[in-house]
A = this chain, B = another copy of it.
Amino acid sequence: MRRVSESAVRRLSLYLRFLEEFEAKGIETVSSEALAARGGTTSAQVRKDLSFFGSFGKRGLGYPVRDLARRLRDILGLKRSYRVVIVGAGKIGSALAQYRGFGQRGFHIAAVYDSDPAKVGLEWDGQVVRDVSHLERDLEREPMDIAIVSTPAGAAQEVTDRLVRAGIKAILNFAPVHLRVPPGVIVRNVNMALELEALSYALRNR
């Protein structure tokens, strides 16, 4: 399979959402123009994105909604569910632990950890915050697929090293620091201030 850019993967996720909306309305086929309009892109971009993964739809007839949605779920790895551990029960961590959009997509928050005795034992939506000193012991008994690191910057690398040693291969990082990981471990970074800086850049340079 050819290498696909991060932004193309992001568009695939968006196309899947639109297809599922169309499916819920009983619409059977959709044009690249309709997908493009909903996704804020061009029909040429839609056709290019989808052509990476083989041939879908017939010229002039549009894409079959249900089949294309099923293929995109397969491509995006969404035919299975994922067990997600959150380390860091601060404000961002707690918002993520209670975010309903994850479960709908098969991402199950299976455990939340913190090092602060004032937070350990708190219950959020049936999720009890656990003591991070038990992280390795718990991960051995209950393996996780994905970790969300939402600790303060100073703790993020140590937590990441522990997660990687315990076998975690995919990390979503909210700490404002670059995480060093060995080859084979994937890190994606989310930084709220960087998102605002992209806007200030755009305001400054338009």
Contact = CB atoms under 8 A, between A and B. Distances in A.
A178 interface: yes
Contacts of A169: 203
A202 B105 contact: no
Given A38-B178, A192-B99, A197 B105 contact: yes
Nearest to A197: B13
A176 B101 contact: yes
Contacts of A204: 75-77
Contacts of A17: 176
A91 B102 contact: no
A167 to B, nearest CB: 13
Contact of A198 (B10, B84, B145): B10
A184 B203 CA distance: 10
A27 interface: no
> How many copies of the shown chain assemble into the complex?
2
Interface in A152-172: 169-172
Contacts of A146: 196, 199-200, 203
Interface residues of A, number: 60
Contact of A195 (B145, B176, B190, B201): B190
> Does more than half of chain A's interface fall in helix, strand or loop, or is it mixed?
helix
Contacts of A190: 190, 192, 195
Nearest to A205: B1
Nearest to A202: B186
A194 B10 contact: yes
A34 interface: no
A76 B1 CA distance: 36
Interface of A: 1, 6-7, 9-10, 12-14, 17, 38-40, 75-78, 82, 84, 91-92, 94-96, 98-99, 101-102, 104-107, 145-146, 169-172, 176, 178, 180, 184, 186, 188, 190-206
- Return the 9 tightest CB-CB contacts between A and B, nearest first: A77-B204, A77-B200, A95-B95, A91-B95, A170-B199, A101-B193, A186-B202, A13-B197, A13-B194
